[in-house]
Structure 1
Amino acid sequence: MSAVDPLLSRRPWHDLPPALAPLLRARLPELTTEMVQAIRREVRGYRQPIGSAVAHDLAEAVRLAATQFTELVEEPDAPQQHYVPRFKRLGRLEYLSGRGMDGLQAAYRIGARVACRRYMDVAREAAFSGEIAVPLSEAVLTHIHAMAEGSVAGFEEARAGAADEVLRTRRLLAARLLARNRDPLAEPLPDLARRAAWPLPERVRCAVLPASTDLTAVHEDVLRVSRGGEVHLVAPDDSLLTVLEGTEVAMGPSVLLNEAWVSLHCARLGRRLGRLRAEDHLAELHLLHGSPIGTLLTDQVLEPLRTLPPGKAERLTDTLDALLTSGGRTAPEVAAALGIHPQTARNRLRQLAALYGDKLDDPAFRFDVQLALRSRSVRRSLLP
């Protein structure tokens, strides 16, 4: 049974004289106009220009309410099922228009107030007994309550349907972002993101968890997709994944949006190797699994040089390479390797020391740099 039927089954209209119905029907145009004016005056959200979609929806809702009420007075036992979808439509329109139910509920209350007063005026003018006031008021309130219940049901159905569609679209968006090879005929990524209500960030971080992990605490802005016993996450902000600390989550490094698949690749490799924070083990993962991670490692170790002019950054990169491959790590050795004056080498070494600090004395870091620079050299040698 619909949400409206139980309320209308009270049938307070049995206590009203059917002869009142044609009198109300004759006055409907002026009655509905007065109700619309009162609602527009008291509810800010409905103060839209006459002829606008909002004004049209309001006038239609008031006309619908007054027409059905008149029919109920005339035939209290007549079926009302055909009105149910119309009530629901009013709530659905509120949701699709980006409004909440507060405005419509207020409009119903104002409409009921005006209706009670004006219906009583019609009854008095027709010389009906004053005893009609109680059943007439009860009938108006019961009717408005039924309309409100139906509209709430339509609003909630629209919201649930939209939420389901957003979730489905977000799963599709996650799958698209994590795909290494993009379909050139697929929906443009910005359009898909807009439908998913997910603003495209510049960088993302991916994570992998067992399918059995409880994700109720994970922020709704973290995309997720289930694949082969795993859940893959795409987070636009590192802070959104902090709730997973202490679980079996394997984190990939932060990457540019179009390289999300690389972050996922790292996270999955790290999980298999027991390295739950992949960015701390890029060199190890690269040695085992190849070039995409080598690119990340190079970006990581050369990060301090990123803000420098390209020419200067390239010269310091070459100097860093010469420094780490020289036996004694002295300025003359670096100068000889690069074919530059020793004083120039000393100046560059001082700049590197300022940029990297004590890291240059860390064997693990020196290894990472050498590995990254070798990978960089190989990748460059393969370019046409």
Structure 2
Amino acid sequence: MHSPPGDTFARGPWHELPAAFGALLRPRIDAIASGMVEAIRQEVPAYRRPLDSSVGRDLVASVCRAMRQFAELTEAPESAQDHHARHFRHLGRVEFLNGRTTDGLQAAFRVGARVGGRRYAEIARTASLPAEIVLPLHEAVLTHINALSNEAVKGFVAAQAHAEDEVQRSRRALAQALLEQPHGAAREPLEPLAARARWPLPAQVACLVVRGAAGSRRTVPWPDALVLPRGADLVAVLPEPAGGGPAGTADVRAAARGRTAALGPAVAPHDAWVSLVCVRLALNHHRDTGAPDGEFLIVGDRLADVHLLGGAPIGRLLGDRALGVLDGLPAGRAARLAETLEALLMSWGRTAPEVARSLGIHPQTARKRLRHLDVLFDGRLADPGFRFEALLALRTRALRG
């Protein structure tokens, strides 16, 4: 943790320097600054820019300010230094915003300290100041440049943290926008929000939900996933998961090991909410059936079931209408006739031998059941519309247990 700049300077070696040194330095600041700037531009590639560029102007202004501060400290070591500290923190922010690192900045400080220390010593000799000030003068230069470097790094780190916070906020907002189900109104375009989130929209996305994993990013194997807690669950929007093939699915499965999780179908980004709906339906059904925890569901492999689960209340009504004649029979007989009806509806030729092979029963038994079904349904088995409804009803009943 850095000390406040005023404390650093008040404890520094300026008390051992004659106040007159500040008066000697001030008229020479422009000339010394010119030499420092030239040395920095030669030795530090990041600053090899024209002097009339923004980089060049910032460099000259900062070098001159650093020397004015050195003169102030020589004259009044206890003086407030916040105004200078703010400048160098701003310089660090500018470095970050311009895409540079602190390496070049700290190299520039070192070059400036070397040139400045040499010129300051020349000023002391020319003015016939006591030889004993050479060591405190050298210490003052090192203390000063270290303090300025620390302030610049503080500014750089603060700007970096702010930018990362902005990106994370934008990513959460993008995840919410992707997962929000539209309700008639036109959706806002996703591209501007994706640009602020630094998350190029992929061709496809898929939703992953991990039960009881909110607050744990370790369950998501891709750093570029959009992660959003929803209650106790963790929801992640994964970019183009289908592009990774089975290996990508294996990575997700391994990351979610030990928790119930489901990976939704790959969809276009504006349909991400559809992938989430599919996952929710599959997980809710998994919970309702009392299945053990820790299972990983690939929802894209069972979209027909998920579709039926989404309309389960309507499917129940359809079952009552299409299959109601079976409900008045003894349970065992009703179950046998229902499985025979499903075998008939799923067969190609709808013949007794085909149904018998499917169920593993004698063809004569199959014929007997089929005649019974034909009577119960009053000839409607020949109606394509009824057959479609009956198959949906049978499938929905099977899913709902």
- Structure 1 stretch displaced more, 149-158 or 272-281: 272-281
What pairs up with 1:1-384 in 2 under 5 angstroms?
Answer: 3-181=4-182, 184=186, 186=188, 188-213=189-214, 214-216=216-218, 218=220, 219-238=222-241, 239=248, 241=252, 244-246=255-257, 247-274=259-286, 276-289=297-310, 326-327=348-349
Alpha-carbon distance in structure 1 between the residues aligned to 2:142 and 2:186: 58
Q: Structure 1 residues 209 and 3, CA, compared in 2 at 3 Å: closer, same or farther?
A: farther
Shift of 1:252: 0.5
Alpha-carbon distance in structure 2 between the residues aligned to 1:243 and 1:203: 22
Conservation of the 8 A alpha-carbon contact between 1:2 and 1:84: no
- Structure 1 stretch displaced more, 53-62 or 268-277: 268-277
Alpha-carbon distance in structure 2 between the residues aligned to 1:99 and 1:135: 34
Give the equivalent residue in structure 1 for 2:327: none
2:278 partner letter: C
- Deviations along 1:63-103, one digit per CA (max 9) or x if unpaired, are 22111111101111112122222121111111111111000
Shift of 1:12: 0.6
CA RMSD of aligned residues (A): 2.6
Alpha-carbon distance in structure 2 between the residues aligned to 1:143 and 1:123: 18
- Deviations along 1:205-248, one digit per CA (max 9) or x if unpaired, are 11112354421363331101223333221011433745523132
4+ residue segments displaced more than 6 Å: none
1:72 partner letter: L
2:39 partner letter: A
Alpha-carbon distance in structure 1 between the residues aligned to 2:254 and 2:203: 22
SS of equivalent residue, structure 1 residue 17: coil
Shift of 1:23: 1.1
Alpha-carbon distance in structure 2 between the residues aligned to 1:34 and 1:189: 51
2:256 partner letter: E
Alpha-carbon distance in structure 2 between the residues aligned to 1:120 and 1:278: 76
Alpha-carbon distance in structure 1 between the residues aligned to 2:47 and 2:186: 45
SS of equivalent residue, structure 1 residue 198: coil
Shift of 1:290: 5.1
Give the equivalent residue in structure 1 for 2:321: none
1:280 partner letter: D
- Structure 1 stretch displaced more, 230-239 or 131-140: 230-239
Conservation of the 8 A alpha-carbon contact between 1:270 and 1:277: no
Alpha-carbon distance in structure 2 between the residues aligned to 1:2 and 1:194: 38
Percent identity of paired positions between Structure 1 and Structure 2: 43
Alpha-carbon distance in structure 2 between the residues aligned to 1:113 and 1:147: 14
Shift of 1:129: 2.2
Shift of 1:326: 4.8
Shift of 1:184: 4.2
Alpha-carbon distance in structure 1 between the residues aligned to 2:165 and 2:29: 41
- Deviations along 1:120-171, one digit per CA (max 9) or x if unpaired, are 1111111112222111110010000001111111111111111111111100
Q: Structure 1 residues 49 and 180, CA, compared in 2 at 3 Å: closer, same or farther?
A: same
- Deviations along 1:259-279, one digit per CA (max 9) or x if unpaired, are 111111111111112272211
2:271 partner letter: E
Q: Structure 1 residues 76 and 168, CA, compared in 2 at 3 Å: closer, same or farther?
A: same
Alpha-carbon distance in structure 1 between the residues aligned to 2:347 and 2:194: 47
Q: Which has the larger radius of gyration?
A: 2
SS of equivalent residue, structure 2 residue 50: coil
SS of equivalent residue, structure 2 residue 266: strand
1:215 partner letter: R
SS of equivalent residue, structure 1 residue 233: strand
**Gap regions ≥5 residues in structure 1:** 292-323, 330-369, 376-384
